[in-house]
Structure 1
Amino acid sequence: MNVFQMRDKLKDRLKHLDVKFSFNRDEETLRVSRNDNGKGVTVKISTIVAKYKEQKENIVDEIVYYVEEAIEQMKGEALSEAENIEIMPVLRSPSFDKKDKEGNSFVIDKHTAETNIYYAVDLGKSYRLIDEQMLEKLNLTKQQVKE
């Protein structure tokens, strides 16, 4: 299987999503972006082709699963009911990013010299780190998140 065949296979398996596909021939990547907000993921096709030789359809299934989950989490629906969400602490190294890709600061507490505590919303199969903007949407304070 070559890069172009894999690109077509992934596009076919993901066609049920409301997304736009962009293929970069030079970098051999496929960008899958939501139509509603433009957020998305980029998949390196050549890596998948290399793994396909050993894992066959299993690697395709795995990539499709992760892309579907990522696209679903990026839909940007506001988390509005604070009573129905579960917040959990997540330990990260002090070198971990302090802001998300949009520049919003995460809610962070110092823990030890080796770790910081970030806070995350449990989304079932994944989680999302809480940032300042999300606090406003949830109408919560940092202290309420910690409790």
Structure 2
Amino acid sequence: MKMTSIKMKRKLDELFTRDDWRVSFNRDKDIYRVEWKDTKQGVKINIPNVIAKYERRGDIALEELQFHVSESLKMMNEEHQLEGKEKHIYPVIRATSFPKKTKSGTALVYTEHTAETNIYYALDLGTTYQLIDENMLNEQGWSYERLKEISLFNIRSLDVNPKKDIVAENDFYFIATQDGYDASRILNEAFLEEMKANAVGEILVAVPHQDVLIVADVKNKMGYDILAQMTMKFFAEGRVPITSLPFAYDEKHLEPVFILAKNKPEK
């Protein structure tokens, strides 16, 4: 028997029963909401999406949903300190279209990076992370420069062990550790300089989504086409898409490039 929205709502009621939470269901929009009773901060759940996952994966899908929603609610209800957590602060790369404010209207701390990307700053909480906003920075008495310096130091301390593929005589290196900071490794200049030093052709770099960094040693025209197709595919499939444009890396500078079929990129 097909799962209906009402039946799924009952399942969610069982998952999210807590004295300090309130649940509600908007039947017209098929949206289920779980929120803290005192602050009214909460999470919206799209019922049709949950049904689709449930029909494909069964109870495991609901267990994962319960975990992620509970983590999100927990994070909303905690006051996080930066002091003493310096080793857990990392930069995260996002598209320039990414929101500049939290849902409550507080400005997020970010740095302009390229024409396609900005750098945000995150406090790692283990299973998730919280983007740092200006209120957190001010309450801790931290300067923007201190935050930036600490985060860049931490990203350089993360392992960089790329997997290499050779396609049509071009070398492609992939970093995909799934630690949430794969794309952020584009900020590790020491790594990029090492790659450039060892490159035979032109170095291009891509961050199609949060969980991958691609470095290409492009040695022929085919290499540009392959990278363009690869980046577009990753961008379309990524959980947190960033940009489908690769970057030329030269003199410690990243420049987005449009790759034309069977042609060298135009900057």
Q: Same fold (TM over 0.5)?
A: yes
Out of 102, 106, 111, the position equivalent to 1:109 is: 111
* TM-score using structure 1 length: 0.90
Q: Determine the structure 1 residue equivalent to 2:65.
A: 63
Matches within 5 A, 1:5-84: 5-16=7-18, 18-75=20-77, 77-80=78-81, 82-84=83-85
1:67-96 CA distance string (max 9 Å, x none):
111111110x32235123421111111121
1:80–1:137 contact (8 Å) kept in structure 2: no
> Which aligned pairs between 1:83-122 and structure 2 lie closer than 5 A?
83-85=84-86, 86-122=88-124
Quick check: 1:79–1:138 contact (8 Å CA) kept in 2?
Answer: no
Superposition deviation, residue 46 in structure 1 = 2.1
CA distance in 1, matches of 2:46, 2:29: 8
CA distance 1:102–1:82, shift in 2 (3 Å): same
In the superposition, relative to structure 1, how do residues 62 and 81 fare at CA in structure 2: closer, same or farther (>3 Å)? Answer: closer
* RMSD after superposition: 1.6
- In the alignment, which residue of structure 1 is the partner of 2:181? none
Matched, 1:143 2:145: yes
| CA drift at 1:144 | 1.4
Residue 106 of structure 1 and its aligned partner are, at CA, apart by 1.4
| Unmatched 5+ stretches in structure 2 | 150-267
Partners in 2 of 1:73 and 1:103 — Cα distance?
A: 17
Q: Once the 2 structures are TM-superposed, how far is the Cα of residue 124 of structure 1 from its aligned partner? A: 1.1
Instruction: Work out the CA distance in 1 between the residues paired with 2:85 and 2:101.
Output: 25
Q: Which moved more, 1:111-120 or 1:26-35?
A: 111-120
Name the SS for the 2:146 alignment partner.
Answer: helix
Contact 1:79/1:137 (<8 A) preserved? no
Mind listing any 5+ residue stretches in structure 1 that lack a counterpart?
none
Q: How many residues align?
A: 146
Where 1:82 maps in the other structure, the secondary structure is: coil
In structure 2, what residue type is equivalent to 1:12?
E
1:85-117 Cα distance to aligned partner (Å, 9 max, x none): 421111111121111112221111122222211
SS at 1:26 equivalent: coil
Q: Please state whether the residue corresponding to 1:83 is helix, strand or coil.
A: coil
Q: Which runs of 4+ in 1 moved over 4 A?
A: none
Give the TM-score taking structure 2 as reference length: 0.51
Q: Which residue of structure 2 aligns with residue 4 of structure 1?
A: 6
Percent of aligned pairs sharing the same letter: 39
Work out the CA distance in 2 between the residues paired with 1:73 and 1:95.
24
Whole-Å Cα distance in 2 between the matches of residues 14 and 140 of structure 1? 37
Q: Is the 8 A contact 1:88 1:122 kept in 2?
A: yes
